[in-house]
Amino acid sequence: MGLVLLVVIWLITFISAYFFLAKTWWLPVGASAAAAGIDHHFSTTYILMGIVFVAAQLALGFFAWKYRDRGATARQALYSHGHNGLEITWTVLTLVLFVGLNFMSSSIWASERFRPAVSDAVEVEVTGMQFAWYFRYPGPDGKFGATKPELEDPSSGGEGAIGLDTSDPASKDDVVTGTMYVPVNREIDVILRAEDVIHSFFVPAMRFKQDAVPGLAIHMHFTPIATGDYEIACSQLCGLGHYKMHGILRVVSQEEFDKWIAAREAEKQ
Amino acid sequence: MATREFAAHDAHVHAAPTSWIRKYVFSLDHKVIGIQYFFLALTAVFVGMFLSLLMRIHLIWPAAALPLLGEIKPETYLTLLTMHGTIMVFFVLTTAPQGGFGNYFLPIQIGAPDMAFPVLNMLSFWVTALAFVVMLSAFFVVGGAPLHGWTGYPPLSALPAAGPGEALGADLWVISIALFCLGALMSALNFITTTLDMRAKGMTLMRMPLTCWAWFITAILGLLAFGVLLSAGILLLLDRNAGTSFFVPLVTINGQLTGHRGGSPLLWQHLFWFFGHPEVYIAILPAMGLCSQLLSVFSRKPIFGYKAMVYAMLSIGFLGFMVWGHHMFMSGMSPYTAFAFSVMTMAIGVPSAIKTFNWLGTIWKGRIRFTSPMLFALGFVSLFISGGISGPFLAQPVLDIQLHDTYFVVGHFHLIMGVASIFGIFAATYYWFPKMFGRMMNEGMARWHFFITLIGTYAIFMPMHYLGMAAHLRRYSQLTELKYLHGLVPLQEFMTYAAFVTIAGQFLFLFNLFWSMKFGEKATDNPWEATTLEWTTATPPPHDNFGGHIPVVYNGPYEYSVPGAPRDFIMQTDPAILKAH
């Protein structure tokens, strides 16, 4: 029985580890400035934890087989209540490993989240509702017009869906779209809102995730570094259509972005 | 001290009931109540498992028409996951290890004739049973059961208009949880008082089996955590029905104003996870205690580092209340607090690692007997390692950005909180069944059950980590909308097939359980040659546990293979080695 258990535990360990090592399934290719640092720390954690995982499982399987009851003639089990030196050793080692990892990652976290967006960041307001995302740009005046809950009408889409108050002068040049356009290599200052329930704005390729909470306007920033289309998903359960609440983040060159936003402004006039 | 203990005992001596109702239904006997909790959890686990099977089927064959149930709609998928999670966490993982085995064996293991408050004990069970009925009734009301997930985040859970099932079904869900909290609070008081006040002479705290330590610490966690969830549940009920706005700010549903303003959705998350994280330890601590016990019994060796084990459990209990924010890294909470919660979370990994090392230390140089409880205890250690190793990923906010709300999280907590705890429950069942029902369970069936379950659960839950790394979000009822999910469907298919096999294997357990009650080999009083007090009394134990006397304890619980002793185990009540120690 000890041998069977050893084989089963080792096989489970090797098969699990194989797919991790072969990277058969892996993080999507990163496309933001933060991705490299995050992915590097992910790999560090991964290697350290992987070693612990394999070593502990192999030891478990090996001990089970090695110390099986071999019948009446065999030696007695060791009479030992433990070893304080060992207890202290592995306590200190795990403490160093875990807290050390934490401090390594904290600097990345701090650089991402402890500072506001740079002053020349591109502002985009993201509004989540059951079950769509809308994106708003402040226009040439650099100011977002007022929105009012009582004006919200999801069936009308666009400006109506986010409850834009068209009587506010600042709202005259606001652009509301269903696809998120941003220029490459610029920091994007995302302002997250939700109208009804909690949603979560997730762009896997950008390593960007943040809940959109009703009643709060949450600022969070990221910098895309590669042009292309990236899927946006809702990652917080928001109701029956949660699975279909998705959108596209389109990262384009600065010129294309300027051209695109100018065309939207022209449409409004 | 001794006189006070005996006074406490005398006060609780009660004659065995004679009527069928008082003996088997409204019983005050902790052993009967323990068995009642056990069967409640057994019913719940099969209901919960059935719901998970429907989820797995729906993910792979969304258009399949099932017999009697028809096609599962996307919103039905969400109610399935909500009810699966709620039933499993509350009525299985909290109910079986503590309410079931804790109730039955805590008094016996510390040498008490019953729990401190038998009436309260009966009340705890029946309130819990009522909670379960209320929970199930949500399926049958207009609109069906809620779809807001077991975490029930408002405003989704607070507004009847927010989705199907959010009307009466959601009310019943909250009421059921509130009732469950009441039962759990009464039970926690009982466990704490019993442990502190009812120990037999000589049963010092540091001579208690680690199972008792685990139940004791779990009860303390329960006392502090369930009160908070109960309050949160009441506030949510008020928001839903009395027009208050604790959790709901000014929101519209489909363009309609709801009349709420000024509430904070994050407040619920704080309250919920202040309960929710300790709850993880409420589920796993009894399994830790039990598996420590079993590794020692079946390795015929003292537990490695008894004191370290006790201190590790105490630290887990203490730190468990300081880490709830790691569920909220992406919630909009201050990023500075995320940093603090992250450090505490990494720190709680340390006592967990200490326990793992001590388990390995316990079997090291032992003489392992591969009985079915031992197999499950070893499986528990393997699962605890696998489920624990993903913790440090999620504990770091910077990695949680990518992994939060993906299948990586689902894989993590299913391995460590779900399956590992369930392995503890299986181990407890195989280990204590002889004492509870007077017969042995069939070892052959038990071994098959073990290997099917171990391999099967790994096959279901390990791939979830791969899915999560590939950004596969949880709680998605259809995999067709997001393009990057398409390539991951084959892995989901594999998991569904693995679930079929694993679930089929559980019927082997069910069959073995009932078959052995009737046809199992007759059990002796101490079939495993273990040292703790339950093995000193008759099988099954008499109404007052020890047949009219209170045992006196001389030894620690793990005196195995003591050099020079006539046998390789020394009972806790055996005065023989009193002088040697």
Window 35-74 of B, Cβ < 8 Å to A: 74
Q: How far apart are CA B59 and CA B84, in angstroms?
A: 15
Answer whether B53's CB lies under 8 Å from B17's CB: no
Whether chain B has a CB inside 8 Å of the CB on A179: the answer is: no
Domain membership of residue B318 as a residue range: 2-577
Residue A132 lies in a domain: yes
Residues A95 and A183 in one domain: no
Q: Mutating which of A43, A83, A98, A106 best tests the B interface, going by the most B Cβ atoms within 10 A?
A: A98
B5, pLDDT greater than 60? no
Domain membership of residue A49 as a residue range: 2-67+83-113
pLDDT tens string B399-451: 999 999 999 999 999 999 999 999 999 999 999 999 999 999 999 999 999 99
Residue A76 lies in a domain: no
Residue A54 lies in a domain: yes
Whether chain B has a CB inside 8 Å of the CB on A47: the answer is: no
pLDDT tier for residue A150 given thresholds of 50, 70 and 90: very high
Whether chain B has a CB inside 8 Å of the CB on A146: the answer is: no
User: What is the tally of structural domains in chain A?
Assistant: 2
Residue A73 lies in a domain: no
Q: What is the pLDDT of residue B427?
A: 98
Which residues in B lie closer than 8 A to residue A56 (C-beta atoms)?
356, 360, 385
Residues A126 and A233 in one domain: yes
Residues A204 and A228 in one domain: yes
Answer whether B148's CB lies under 8 Å from B242's CB: no
CA dihedral B312, B318, B324, B325 (to 10 degrees): -100
Residue A21 lies in a domain: yes
pLDDT tens string A65-108: 999 988 876 778 899 999 999 999 999 999 999 989 998 898 88
Residues A157 and A262 in one domain: yes
Contact at CB, A91 and B358, closer than 8 angstroms: no
Q: What is the pLDDT of residue B3?
A: 39
Which residues in A lie closer than 8 A to residue B375 (C-beta atoms)?
1, 5
B331 CB contacts (<8 Å, ≥6 apart)?
A211, A213, B266, B269
Residues A88 and A143 in one domain: no
Q: What is the pLDDT of residue B448?
A: 97
**Smallest Cβ distance to A45: which of B336, B393, B568?**
B393
Structure-token pair, residue A229 = 């289309």
The CATH number linked to B564 is: 1.20.210.10
Q: How close does chain B come to A164, measured CA to CA in Å?
A: 13
Window 310-349 of B, Cβ < 8 Å to A: 330-332, 335-336, 338-339, 342-343, 346-347, 349
Q: How far apart are CA B172 and CA B159, in angstroms?
A: 14
Residues A97 and A167 in one domain: no
Mean pLDDT of B471-477: 96
Helix (H) or strand (E) holding B233: helix B210-241
Residues A49 and A180 in one domain: no
B7, pLDDT greater than 50? no
Residue A74 lies in a domain: no
Q: How close does chain A come to B331, measured CA to CA in Å?
A: 5
The CATH number linked to A251 is: 2.60.40.420
B299, pLDDT greater than 70? yes
Contact at CB, A77 and B455, closer than 8 angstroms: no
Q: How close does chain A come to B466, measured CA to CA in Å?
A: 6
Closest CA to B329 of B337, B317, B321: B337
Q: How far apart are CA A5 and CA B139, in angstroms?
A: 42
pLDDT tens string A201-234: 999 999 999 999 999 999 999 999 999 999 999 9
Q: Within 10 A of B480 (CB to CB), how many other CB atoms are there? A: 12
Q: What is the CA radius of gyration of chain B?
A: 24
DSSP string, B157-215: TT-GGGSTTTTHHHHHHHHHHHHHHHHHHHHHHHHHHHHHH-PPTT--GGGS-HHHHHH
Q: How far apart are CA B265 and CA B158, in angstroms?
A: 10
Q: How far apart are CA B546 and CA B540, in angstroms?
A: 11
Residues A264 and A148 in one domain: yes
pLDDT tens string B160-213: 999 999 999 999 999 999 999 999 999 999 999 999 999 999 999 999 999 999
DSSP string, B476-498: -S-SSSSGGGGGGHHHHHHHHHH
Contact at CB, B349 and A114, closer than 8 angstroms: no
Structure-token pair, residue B33 = 């109540």
Contact at CB, A102 and B405, closer than 8 angstroms: no
Mean pLDDT of B17-27: 87
Residue A78 lies in a domain: no
pTM for the model stands at 0.95
Residues A52 and A157 in one domain: no
Which residues in A lie closer than 8 A to residue B301 (C-beta atoms)?
77-80
Residues A164 and A259 in one domain: yes
Q: What is the pLDDT of residue B4?
A: 43
pLDDT tier for residue B2 given thresholds of 50, 70 and 90: very low
Q: Which of B58-67, B149-158, B563-572 has the highest mean pLDDT?
A: B149-158
User: What is the tally of structural domains in chain B?
Assistant: 1
What are the start-end ranges of the H helices in B61-167?
74-86, 103-110, 118-137
pLDDT tens string B91-114: 999 999 999 999 999 999 999 999
B581, pLDDT greater than 50? no
Helix (H) or strand (E) holding B437: helix B420-437
Residue A72 lies in a domain: no
Q: Within 10 A of B238 (CB to CB), how many other CB atoms are there? A: 15
pLDDT tier for residue B576 given thresholds of 50, 70 and 90: low
Residues A233 and A105 in one domain: no
A18 CB contacts (<8 Å, ≥6 apart)?
none
Coil, strand or helix at B441: coil
Q: What is the pLDDT of residue B14?
A: 62
Q: How close does chain A come to B11, measured CA to CA in Å?
A: 38
Residues A258 and A207 in one domain: yes
pLDDT tens string B313-356: 999 999 999 999 999 999 999 999 998 999 999 999 999 999 99
**Mean pLDDT, all residues of chain B:** 94
Angle at B341 between CA B338 and CA B343, to 5 degrees: 110
**Smallest Cβ distance to A8: which of B251, B350, B451?**
B451
**Mean pLDDT, all residues of chain A:** 94
Q: What is the pLDDT of residue B548?
A: 87
